[in-house]
């Protein structure tokens, strides 16, 4: 997704000189083409995330469209007040791009994990929250962010090249995508963990259980009416996220359901009020935290029975 | 002429605060001459009939709690009516204790949480360079504000990007909310610190209008590379004798007897106060 993001941003910036690429000392190789071809539109702000975000807001007040990119945990937590006051309160056209969604930085541990970012960012007014799972979603949502005049946070994970969408299936910003049909239960997921969910659904299938899988790529604004409609046929709903179960996808689905008088059972699968345990590759950390396909399968199966 | 404007702005600050029953009076009074010199001393480039003129200079009041002085000046140049000015801090008003971008013509950034304005200005200065604009960006920075780490991130950045279209005026009144800056978290030597961060530093008496205008005009025409800072020595609460350099007046309104003294010292009539 990171590579897809950079490829699309480069294409957009090449056509629109007001689009600026800001980084906070990262992207050594992946940004090479951008730096070489569009040096006037590239700024490395050094290791100063809050400053980068606010300088981006200043640029946006002059008509620029800055995409400020660095590790999501350093944006959502360290630069929080700068996002809140300088970008969102002033409704400025800044795109905040956090890489390393969830436990992508598995070797480095919780300092680099973005596992509470949805919770803390989604309560800031005026901020659109996008969380693509696949290259197709990333491509569409980067363009959507560019076209939208206002603050956007894009939550990016690793670089999984496999596409989960059918060739003819479109990504519609603001809607929820159905990636797998099923009649027995519905699983809503966001970001790259959708890949694990698709595998878990396959494991459930082997047990004769058919799970419908939905990718919630637009976390805010959440299309509540569509969510209710999609949830209606199922007796059991699950949310799966590489994030705390508090305040993230599970939280926002629960809020939408209860606010609309829907009292279906919702199983929230994610980090249970803890920092992710262990180190290793992202998949190893997912396994340690029961968030790989086998762990998700086991948790859903236990609830289904 | 400028002295008269400064005198009238001081009066207006008190009358506006009286209407709003709120405001950081002493912080605003500290910066009256600095702001008068900027707006009326042929320094800041702006169009009194068009606050959105694309070639204008921008001023960011990073010490947002000094909003009273900014609002009174925006009223004086015609961006705000007197009626609007006197809604300060009241329900339905767009004039909060801290200035908000988008709500008030002439407010170029939302400030209030300290340590944001300089970073915002760095972004504007870079955008102006990209657009090859002749416009400058000015920042009114508080001295206590320099205790925020983000100020120094922005200072590094401005020097690194050689932003010679950026000028900071540091309102060096030596006081912050609880007392003397040097007793709370020492800042000196500010001159050496800013020089060490790669800035061109000059000093001026922040209440001497002639010196301020001269310094700001020289800064404007200077061809020096890199960002500049003007350390303006000021007196917090300047113009009201019992407020001057007294920490408690950081955020307090005068009671009835104190108000009588203020009126006498600033020459405010009862009619003006209740306007």
In 3D space, the residue among A175, A177, A193, A186 whose CA is nearest the CA of residue A240 turns out to be A193
Chain A residue at shortest CA distance from B100: A90
- Distance of alpha carbon B190 from alpha carbon B179, whole angstroms: 18
The pTM assigned to this predicted structure is 0.96
* Per-residue pLDDT tens over the stretch B35-64: 999 999 999 999 999 999 999 999 999 999
> Taking CA A114 as the corner, what is the angle to CA A110 and CA A119, rounded to the nearest 5 degrees?
120
The CATH number given to whatever domain includes residue B193 is 3.40.50.970
Domain of residue B128, residue span:
2-273
Quote the pLDDT of residue A27. 80
Q: Is the pLDDT of residue A161 over 80?
A: no
pLDDT value of residue B98: 97
What percentage of chain B carries pLDDT values higher than 90? 100
> In CATH, which superfamily holds the domain spanning A2-156?
Thiamin diphosphate (ThDP)-binding fold, Pyr/PP domains (3.40.50.970)
pLDDT digits (tens, 9 = 90+) for B241-252: 999 999 999 999
User: Quick one: pLDDT at residue B215?
Assistant: 98
Q: How far apart are the first and last CA of chain A?
A: 35
* Percent over 70 (pLDDT), chain A: 100
Neighbour count for residue A225 (Cβ, 10 Å): 10
Please say if the pLDDT value at position A94 is more than 90.
Answer: yes
With an 8 Å Cβ cutoff, are A54 and B130 in contact? no
pLDDT level of residue A49 (50, 70, 90 thresholds)? very high
> Is the pLDDT score of B178 beyond 80?
yes
Phi, psi of B213 (to 5 degrees): -60, -45
Is ipTM > 0.85 here?
A: yes
Architecture of the domain delimited by A177-304:
3-Layer(aba) Sandwich (3.40)
Is A62 at the interface with chain B, CB within 8 A?
yes
3-state secondary structure chain A: CHHHHHHHHHHHHHHCCCEEEEECCCCCCCCHHHHHHCHHHEEECCCCHHHHHHHHHHHHCCCCEEEEEEEHHHHHHHCHHHHHHHHHCCCCCCEEEEECEECCCCCCCHHHCECCHHHHHCCCCCCEEECCCCHHHHHHHHHHHHHCCCCEEEECCCCCCCCCCCCCCCCCCCCCEEEECCCCEEEEECCCHHHHHHHHHHHHHHCCCCEEEEECCEEECCCHHHHHHHHCCCCEEEEEEEEECCCCHHHHHHHHHHHCCCCCEEEEEEECCCCCCCCCCHHHHHHHCCCCHHHHHHHHHHHHC
Residue range B73-95: average pLDDT? 97
Q: Domain count of chain B?
A: 1
Closest residue on chain A to B135 (Cα):
A62
Cβ neighbour number for residue B117 with a 10 Å cutoff: 32
Residues of B with CB under 8 A from a CB of A: 100-102, 108-110, 112-113, 116, 119-128, 130-131, 150, 153-154, 156-157, 160
Residue-level pLDDT at A305: 82
Mean pLDDT of B92-109: 96
pLDDT at B13 over 80: yes
Range(s) within chain A of domains with CATH label 3.40.50.970: 2-156
Of A40, A46, A59, the CB nearest to B123: A59
Q: Which residues of A touch B120 (CB under 8 A)?
A: 54-55, 57-58, 61, 86
Residues of chain A with CATH 3.40.50.920: 177-304
Over chain A, what is the mean pLDDT? Answer: 96
CB atoms A55 and B157 under 8 Å: yes
Residues of chain A contacting residue B104, judged by C-beta atoms under 8 Å apart? none
Question: Which chain B residues are Cβ-neighbours of A82 within 8 angstroms?
Answer: 116, 119, 150
Distance from CA of B246 to the nearest CA of A (A): 31
Q: What is the pLDDT of residues B118-139, one digit of tens each?
A: 999 999 999 999 999 999 999 9
Q: What is the pLDDT of residues A244-275, one digit of tens each?
A: 999 999 999 999 999 999 989 999 999 999 99
Provide the sign of the torsion angle of the four alpha carbons B247, B248, B249, B251, taken in this order.
positive
CA distances from B214 to B1, B29, B134, B205 (A): 15, 21, 20, 11
What residues in A contact B124, CB-CB < 8 Å? Answer: 58-59, 61-62
């Amino acid at each position: 997704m990171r590579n897809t993001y950079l490829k699309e941003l480069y294409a957009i910036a090449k056509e629109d000189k007001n689009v600026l690429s800001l980084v906070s000392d990262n992207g050594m190789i992946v940004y090479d083409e951008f730096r070489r071809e569009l040096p006037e539109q590239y700024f490395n702000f050094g290791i100063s995330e809050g400053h980068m975000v606010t300088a981006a807001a200043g640029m946006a007040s002059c008509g620029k469209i800055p995409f400020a990119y660095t590790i999501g945990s350093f944006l959502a937590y360290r630069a929080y007040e700068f996002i809140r006051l300088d970008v969102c309160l002033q409704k400025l056209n800044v795109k905040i791009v956090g890489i390393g969604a969830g436990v992508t930085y598995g070797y480095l541990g919780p300092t680099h994990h973005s596992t509470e970012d949805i919770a803390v960012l989604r309560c800031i007014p005026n901020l659109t929250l996008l969380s693509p799972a696949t290259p197709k979603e990333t491509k569409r949502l980067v363009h959507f962010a560019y076209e939208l005049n206002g603050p956007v946070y894009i939550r990016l994970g690793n670089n999984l090249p496999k596409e989960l969408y059918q060739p003819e299936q479109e990504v519609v910003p603001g809607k929820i995508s159905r990636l797998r049909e099923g009649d027995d239960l519905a699983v809503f997921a966001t970001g790259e963990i959708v890949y694990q969910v698709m595998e878990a659904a396959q494991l459930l299938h082997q047990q004769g259980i058919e799970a419908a899988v939905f990718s919630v790529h637009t976390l805010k604004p959440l299309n509540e009416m569509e969510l209710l409609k999609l949830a209606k046929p199922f007796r059991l709903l699950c949310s799966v996220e590489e994030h705390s179960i508090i305040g993230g996808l599970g939280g926002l689905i629960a809020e939408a359901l209860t606010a609309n008088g829907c009292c279906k059972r919702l199983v929230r699968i994610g980090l249970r009020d803890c920092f992710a345990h262990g180190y290793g590759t992202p998949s190893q950390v997912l396994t340690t935290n029961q968030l790989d396909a086998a762990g998700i399968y086991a948790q859903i199966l236990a609830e289904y029975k | 002429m400028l002295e008269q404007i400064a005198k009238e702005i001081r009066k207006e600050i008190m009358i506006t605060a009286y209407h709003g029953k709120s405001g950081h009076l002493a912080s605003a009074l500290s910066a009256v001459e600095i702001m008068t010199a900027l707006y009326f001393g042929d320094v800041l480039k702006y169009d009194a009939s068009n606050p959105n003129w694309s070639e204008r200079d921008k001023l960011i009041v990073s010490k947002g709690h000094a909003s009273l002085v900014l609002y009174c000046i925006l009223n004086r140049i015609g961006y705000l009516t007197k009626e609007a000015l006197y809604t300060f801090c009241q329900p339905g008003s767009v004039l909060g204790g801290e200035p908000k971008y988008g709500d008030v013509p002439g407010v170029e950034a939302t400030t209030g949480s300290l340590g944001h304005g300089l970073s915002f200005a760095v972004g504007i200065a870079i955008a102006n360079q990209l657009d090859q604009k002749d416009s400058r960006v000015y920042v009114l920075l508080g001295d206590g504000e320099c205790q925020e780490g983000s100020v120094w991130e922005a200072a590094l950045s401005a020097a690194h990007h050689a932003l010679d279209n950026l000028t900071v005026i540091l309102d060096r009144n030596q006081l912050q909310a609880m007392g003397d800056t040097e007793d709370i978290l020492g800042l000196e030597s500010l001159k050496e610190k800013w020089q060490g961060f790669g800035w061109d530093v000059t000093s001026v008496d922040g209440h001497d209008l002639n010196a301020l205008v001269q310094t700001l005009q020289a800064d404007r025409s200077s061809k020096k590379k890199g960002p500049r800072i003007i350390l303006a020595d000021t007196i917090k609460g300047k113009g009201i004798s019992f407020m001057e350099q007294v920490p408690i007046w950081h955020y307090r309104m005068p009671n009835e007897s104190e108000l009588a003294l203020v009126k006498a010292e600033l020459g405010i009539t009862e009619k003006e106060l209740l306007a």
